[in-house]
Amino acid sequence: MIRRPTALRAALLASLLAGAAGCSRTPPPPPVTLVYTVEGMHCDGCVAAIGAEVGHLPTTRTCSVDLEQGRAEVVTAAAADDAAIRAAITKLGYKVTPGWTKAPPRTDD
């Protein structure tokens, strides 16, 4: 048996479709990349510990740690909490200093 939409269902569906077409949601801000110098790492276990600790922060999207360069690169939401990232690394016993912030890619047309 095929169900035909009732007038109420049809009106609701039309309302939902019209609302979705005119959606005025602003897109999320682009991610921010923060780079830190980390002192005291000496093995892959150190790299894994920092990656896991920073990776569990709510604003972290990705975290890559480079043992040879003594650096951690963290991609976060735009509302990045630099203090929380530094605290997470310091809590593990490493000395961390902010390096620089990589600007998000430009989207000029």
Is residue 61 within 8 Å of residue 31, measured between CB atoms? yes
Q: Which of the four CATH numbers 3.40.1710.10, 1.10.8.640, 3.30.70.100, 3.40.50.970 does domain 32-102 have?
A: 3.30.70.100
Cβ contacts of residue 25 below 8 Å, gap of 6+? none
* pLDDT per residue as tens, the chain (109 positions): 555 656 667 766 676 666 555 556 777 778 889 999 999 999 999 999 999 999 999 989 999 999 999 999 999 886 668 889 999 999 999 999 987 777 655 555 5
- State the pTM of this model: 0.68
Cβ contacts of residue 36 below 8 Å, gap of 6+? 71, 72, 73, 74, 85, 86, 89, 96, 97, 98, 99
Question: CB atoms < 10 A from the CB of 30, how many?
Answer: 13
